[in-house]
Amino acid sequence: MTSAAVLILAACSQSPDEVILTGTNPIITGQFTADPTARVFEGKIYMYPSHDIPSVITHHDGSAWFSMPDYHVFSSEDLTSWTDHGVILRQEDVPWGKPDAYAMWAPDCVQKDGKYYFYFPDATAAGWGFGIGVAVSDKPAGPFVPQEKPIQGVAGIDPCVLVDDDGKAYIYWSGMGLRGCRLADNMLELEGDQVRLDEPLPEGFKEGPFAFKRNGRYYLTYPWVRKDTEALAYAMSDNPLGPFEYKGIIMKESPTGCWTNHHSLVEYKGEWYLFYHHNDYSPHFDKNRSARIDRVCFNYDGTIQEVVPTLRGVGSVKATSIVHLDRYSSIDGARIEYVDTADYFKGWKTVFAKAGDNVSFNELDFGRKSPKDITLCVKAPEGGRIALTAGNTAEFNIPSCEEWIEITCRMPFKVKNMHNIKVRLVSDTEIEIDWITFK
């Protein structure tokens, strides 16, 4: 197929943009989003994740395996409302790729001289393992046109590209170790020798390098298997191609069993964020993952403070939206469970079982007008009583209900602007809350 034909195909096949509103973790609902690379283009955050689907591929040991047929791109101005711009590249569209390999693993996208270069791994049709391809666009959300061939001289996965302040670009990938190389000015070819970057680092590098520059120092961050699963670690250097010196851990291994973690760091509106993934919507199969965001802080010497994963995430949440208390900032006694274990995308509920159980949800934005009502989506077989604190505290009766119902109560006090709220069970009867909202 010619490049022009691919361009038309890609343009026609983009579905209308869909807006997803969360502000909490995971950030995208209704589909899996793994390996999130975040970039700032045109004043917005663009997230280029890979796209897990329920497994259609088996590994050589017969187990269900990563199945990744295409890429979507998402953008946001506030890290709460995400626009899904649809599919930007499919496995069938890659001229050199195996069209049914479901091997479109972790990508990256950078901008240079007004063009957007999307770097992605794929299994080669020629059968020599993974190659890394480039698809080019005039816009961050595509349409992207893949090159006829993968980057020559690269065998591996998980490309990351750093465009330095002087315009020179470097590519990093995982293939027989962690490798780096200068990219030619056309962004499509290697220039110069490949360098092994993992050799001075503690053993256990596997995949997923992400490089960036801050205050003149180069950071090489990577998933690190120091024990059984992936933590996120980092090293620093004064040069883009090292040598890099190991500095520490950015995020510990997941305690709940997602083997992989894959990440990127980005500065947006003066704050730094870590994008990473976890199998939130797929508790029994860790190859269906979802993107998350948490804040990152640097020390004065440029070292990175460890990030503790949160469910609250980083987005500003409006009190008038559907507020999921199960994405809490802190919890005491209450339990979080899936609403429907037959459909994990329905999300979670908070279960308050005994008097005193409570959850807090930080930075809920009530805006300038105090709400008149609170609506709760609840299930409470014996009924009960809860207390809401948002500046003031008030108690509400919950009627007995075996199934989910929405109840609306008058707000007995005024509340405006940003508040940390707390919901506490007053009665000793079990109450489940799916969500609350204020009107």
Residues with catalytic roles: 35, 207
Nearest 5°: the CA angle 225, 38, 279 is 50
377 scored as a contact of ligand FUB (CB under 6 A): no
What would you measure as the largest C-alpha separation in the chain, in angstroms? 72
Q: In the complex, what is the shortest distance from the CB of residue 87 to ligand FUB, in angstroms, rounded to a whole number?
A: 17
Residue 260 sits in the site that holds ligand FUB (CB under 6 A): yes
What residues from 35 to 64 belong to the interface with ligand FUB (CB under 6 A)? 35, 50
Per CB under 6 A, does 123 bind ligand FUB? no
Nearer to ligand FUB, 251 or 339 (CB): 251
Q: How far is the CB of 106 from ligand FUB (least distance, A)?
A: 4
Q: Is 105 in the site for ligand FUB (CB under 6 A)?
A: yes
**Separation CA 27–CA 20 (nearest Å):** 8
Q: Which is nearer to ligand FUB, 194 or 279 (CB)?
A: 279
26 and 288 in contact (C-beta within 8 Å)? no
Task: State the nearest-atom distance from the C-beta of 50 to ligand FUB, in Å.
Answer: 5
Subset of 195-214 contacting ligand FUB (CB under 6 A): 207-208
Distance from C-alpha of 57 to C-alpha of 101, rounded to nearest angstrom: 8
- If the CB atoms of residues 106 and 317 are measured against ligand FUB, the closer one turns out to be 106
- Nearest approach, Cβ of residue 207 and ligand FUB (Å): 4
3-state SS of 11-65 is HHHCCCCEEEECCCCCCCCCCCCEEEEEEEECCEEEEEEECCCCCCEECCCCCEE
Nearest residue (CB) to ligand FUB, 66 versus 348: 66
**CA distance linking residue 151 with residue 160, whole number of Å:** 13
Number of residues that bind ligand FUB (CB under 6 A): 12
Cβ atoms of residues 427 and 364 within 8 Å: no
Find out whether 294 and 272 touch, Cβ atoms under 8 Å.
no
Q: Which of 422, 369, 435 is nearest to 391 (CA)?
A: 422
What is the spatial distance between Cα 58 and Cα 364, in angstroms, rounded to a whole number?
44
Does residue number 262 form part of the binding site for ligand FUB (CB under 6 A)? yes
From candidates 47, 87, 94, 106, binder to ligand FUB by CB under 6 A: 106
**Is position 254 an interface residue for ligand FUB (rule: CB under 6 A)?**
no
Give me the residues that bind ligand FUB (CB under 6 A), please.
34-35, 50, 66, 105-106, 157-158, 207-208, 260, 262
